[in-house]
Amino acid sequence: MEIVILPSAAEVGVLAARKIARVVRDKPDAVLGLATGSSPLAIYAALAEQTRDGSLDVSRVSAFALDEYVGIPAEHPESYAAVIAREVTGPLHLDPAGVQVPDGRAVDLEAAGERYEEAIRAAGGVDLQILGIGANGHVGFNEPTSSFASRTRIKTLTERTRSDNARFFDSADDVPTHCLTQGLGTIMDARELLLVAQGPAKAAAVAAAVEGPVTSMCPASILQHHRRATIMVDEDAAARLTLGDYYRWTYAHKPSWQQF
Ligand code: F6R
């Protein structure tokens, strides 16, 4: 894994967007994996800015979201279908037909998960998957003890996740209890992973994911087994990393041909 520690949350957004833009320039029809939540918002804003000023062309990019709540209508402003439309598809002017979100309203959720897996396969797989991390170490909505082999399926949200996400809803009781999420096996199939985290609330999860044992108790720790995983964090989220100085030194001395 490559660990990049940056002075501020804003710089995480800018550098992550630069890395994604490079992927798209190298492969104009790249398939991106999208995360929702607060962590990637600065990335989407930076990418939207680059598409506005003409320095980035995303017209051939397609995308798959990581997850969707079960039990809220698509038009609910906090459904991930609505969030992706508002924060990504619209601002980047992506073709909506090329942007998919798991169908959390399907009557047969198991079949919906299988269809989603098939759609990702048919698109040729995900070139770069953007990830946030939950305070309990989840990626996607793969809560602790999720199988490392899991594929897109229904999951029950932990109380911790529901209370963390209550800020998006009128009341804590309104936060859905279930979701349809890409599995850890699905995420690990992406050709490249980019996890971003900002703020002190993520420090323990980041340390466990990067330096702890690979364990389903911290689902993000499976990233240690990915060949191309980059973790970009601000100083607050990096605060509990034992080898922080090494990561800072490594990034400062990154060979020019390896720059983002
Ligand atoms: C969202 C997702 C989650 C979030 C995580 C962090 O699609 O898959 O894993 O990335 O819960 O959320 P924020 O960024 O809001 O702290």
pLDDT score of 63: 98
pTM value is: 0.98
Beta-bridged to residue 5, according to DSSP, are 233
Beta-bridged to residue 178, according to DSSP, are 70, 156
Burial of 170 (0-12, 13-18, 19+ CB in 10 A): exposed
Q: What are φ and ψ of residue 217, in 5° steps?
A: -70, -25
Q: Report which residue type is found at 114.
A: E
Q: Is 225 a catalytic residue?
A: no
| Nearest CA, atom 10, ligand 1 | 132
Is residue 102 within 6 Å of ligand 1 at its C-beta?
A: no
Q: Where are the domains of the chain?
A: 2-254
| Nearest CA, atom 11, ligand 1 | 134
Torsion of CA 81, 153, 225, 227, to 10 degrees: -50
Indicate which residue of 136, 142, 226, 234 is catalytic.
136
Q: Is 78 a catalytic residue?
A: no
What CATH number has the domain spanning 2-254? 3.40.50.1360
Is residue 202 within 6 Å of ligand 1 at its C-beta?
A: no
Taking CA 181 as the corner, what is the angle to CA 5 and CA 23, rounded to the nearest 5 degrees? 45
Beta-bridged to residue 129, according to DSSP, are 33, 193
- CA-wise closest residue to 47 among 29, 65, 23: 23
Q: Using the atom order of ligand 1, give the atom closest to the CA of residue 165.
A: 15
Which tokens belong to 13?
A: 């957004």
Is residue 199 within 6 Å of ligand 1 at its C-beta?
A: no
pLDDT score of 216: 98
Which tokens belong to 26?
A: 């190298």
What mean pLDDT is reported for the chain? 97
Q: HSE (CB half, 13 Å, CA atoms) of 252?
A: 7
Q: Using the atom order of ligand 1, give the atom closest to the CA of residue 67.
A: 7
Indicate which residue of 117, 143, 189, 234 is catalytic.
143
Q: Report which residue type is found at 205.
A: A
Q: Using the atom order of ligand 1, give the atom closest to the CA of residue 139.
A: 9
Cα 193 to Cα 77, 177, 189, 245: the distances in Å are: 27, 27, 9, 23
For the chain, which ranges sit under pLDDT 50?
A: none
pLDDT score of 75: 87
Q: Is 165 a catalytic residue?
A: no
How far is the centre of ligand 1, averaged over its atoms, from the C-alpha of 141 (Å)? 8
pLDDT score of 141: 98
